Structure 1
Amino acid sequence: MLKLTYTESSFYLEFLTLSLEEWVAQRVILALRVGQTLSVEPSTASFLLPVDLRGVEVLKAEVKRDDREIIALSVCDSEYVEVTLRGSWLSDGSEDAAGVFVTTMSDRAEFFLHKLWQEAQACTSVMSE
């Protein structure tokens, strides 16, 4: 399972070994116990990866092989490719952009996408130094 945590200024991508159903059930139970409103709805999430990142071509091949259409790639410009995922958005129901997006694909695709995102983050932090 992939979990994207969105805040007002950024997001963080995690690869989790729990199934989507187990994780959502735990999150619902937590919300019930602490008296928090929880909204779960189908949604999409997108983020950018550098087009010259090693492995982007392999990701493109993986997307073509997956017929469930959970992941899509779109060229943004000469520097970036947009990764769009279908899944579920969990939030407190307010209109702000803070919340958690979860999705599930093959373990291989999830692991590989997470690795690419980590490499993109490492490249970004090196460039900003």
Structure 2
Amino acid sequence: MLKLTYTETSFCLECLVQSLEEWVQARVILALRVGQSLCVEPSTASFLLPVNLPGVEILKALVNRENSEIIALVNCDHECVEVTLRGYWLSNSSQDGDGIFITASSDSSYGEHSASPTEFFLHKLWQEAQHRASVMSE
């Protein structure tokens, strides 16, 4: 499962081995216990990866091989590839810009408590892109 946490200024991508259903259930129970409203709705999330990042071509092959309806890749320009994920948006209200986006591969062959190889690889590439961006800004 992939979890993207959005704030006003950035987002963080995590790869979790918990099932999407278990994670949502725990989040709903937490919201009930603390008396917080929670909106859960189907949505998409997108972010960019540098097209010259080592491994982007492997990611494209993995996505094509899995024929995934969850992950789509589109070349934006000569510098970036856009990663679009289908999943669910969780926030305090349907109009809230801060929240959490979650998605999981629909292929259950990886087991209930494991992420797909594509999810792990996408997370690894995102981490590498973040590392490169931080090194360049120093």
Q: Which residue of 2 aligns with 1:55?
A: 55
Say whether 1:110 aligns with 2:119.
Answer: yes
Which one-letter code corresponds to 1:84 in the other structure? T
Which stretch has the larger CA shift, 85-94 or 23-32?
Answer: 85-94
TM-score normalised by L of structure 2: 0.91
| Percent identity (aligned) | 71
Measured after TM superposition, the shift of residue 67 of structure 1 is 2.4
Which one-letter code corresponds to 1:114 in the other structure? H
Say whether 1:36 aligns with 2:36.
Answer: yes
Say whether 1:121 aligns with 2:115.
Answer: no
Measured after TM superposition, the shift of residue 16 of structure 1 is 0.7
Which whole-Å CA distance do the structure 1 matches of 2:29 and 2:91 have between them?
14
Measured after TM superposition, the shift of residue 94 of structure 1 is 4.9
Which whole-Å CA distance do the structure 1 matches of 2:58 and 2:68 have between them?
18
Secondary structure of 1:126's counterpart equals: helix
Which stretch has the larger CA shift, 38-47 or 100-109?
Answer: 100-109
Q: Which residue of 2 aligns with 1:91?
A: 91
Secondary structure of 1:110's counterpart equals: helix
TM-score normalised by L of structure 1: 0.97
Which whole-Å CA distance do the structure 1 matches of 2:74 and 2:116 have between them?
22
Measured after TM superposition, the shift of residue 36 of structure 1 is 0.3
Which one-letter code corresponds to 2:131 in the other structure? A
Which whole-Å CA distance do the structure 2 matches of 1:72 and 1:2 have between them?
14
Which whole-Å CA distance do the structure 2 matches of 1:65 and 1:35 have between them?
44
Say whether 1:6 aligns with 2:15.
Answer: no
Q: Which residue of 1 aligns with 2:111?
A: none
Q: Which residue of 2 aligns with 1:74?
A: 74
Measured after TM superposition, the shift of residue 76 of structure 1 is 1.0
Q: Which residue of 1 aligns with 2:112?
A: none
Q: Which residue of 1 aligns with 2:65?
A: 65
Which whole-Å CA distance do the structure 1 matches of 2:53 and 2:22 have between them?
33
Q: Which residue of 1 aligns with 2:100?
A: 100
Secondary structure of 2:118's counterpart equals: helix
Aligned-residue CA RMSD (Å): 1.0
Measured after TM superposition, the shift of residue 107 of structure 1 is 1.5
Deviating beyond 4 angstroms after TM superposition, the runs of 4 or more aligned structure 1 residues are: none
